[in-house]
């Protein structure tokens, strides 16, 4: 099992709606939210790949500005990788847009 802590940022006026949407996602628990729109969550998943899929769902929610990881624990998965039972996938993160500049 993989466990990750995240701070989800939204507009203050959308906080309650986003909290409801987050709690409807499988494996997501909301532990608190402040008046500025910061929402503290913990996500549990079977693998780091599954955790990544949940994070993508969180990022796609309307009015979510950012999903920032604060910690991740993956001891079970690390042991499986060390013993050869599992092979980690390649994580490339978000695709970056390349800026193009024209010479003037």
Dihedral sign computed on CA atoms, order 7, 11, 13, 14 = negative
Listed in sequence order, the residues at least 6 apart from 37 whose beta carbon sits closer than 8 Å to its beta carbon are 9, 10, 11, 12, 14, 15, 65
pLDDT(85) > 80: no
Listed in sequence order, the residues at least 6 apart from 88 whose beta carbon sits closer than 8 Å to its beta carbon are 48, 81
pLDDT(12) > 60: yes
Return the closest-CA partner of residue 29 out of 15, 16, 39, 43: 43
pLDDT at position 35, please? 95
pLDDT at position 95, please? 45
What separation in angstroms does the CA of 31 have from each of 12, 61, 63, 71? 17, 18, 19, 14
2-83 in CATH: which number?
Answer: 3.30.70.920
- Across residues 75-80, what is the average pLDDT? 72
pLDDT at position 82, please? 74
pLDDT(9) > 90: yes
- Across residues 68-87, what is the average pLDDT? 78
pLDDT digits (tens, 9 = 90+) for 22-60: 999 999 999 999 999 999 999 999 888 899 999 999 999
- Across residues 97-104, what is the average pLDDT? 52
């Amino acid at each position: 099992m993989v466990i990750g802590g995240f701070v989800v940022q939204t507009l203050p006026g959308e906080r309650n709606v986003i909290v409801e949407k987050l709690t409807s996602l499988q494996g997501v628990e909301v532990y608190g939210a402040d008046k500025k729109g910061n929402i503290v969550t913990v996500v549990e998943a079977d693998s780091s790949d599954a955790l990544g899929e949940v994070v993508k769902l969180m990022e796609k929610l309307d009015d979510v500005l950012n999903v920032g990881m604060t910690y991740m624990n993956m001891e079970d998965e690390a042991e499986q990788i060390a013993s050869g039972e599992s092979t980690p996938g390649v994580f490339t993160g978000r695709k970056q847009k390349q800026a193009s500049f024209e010479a003037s």
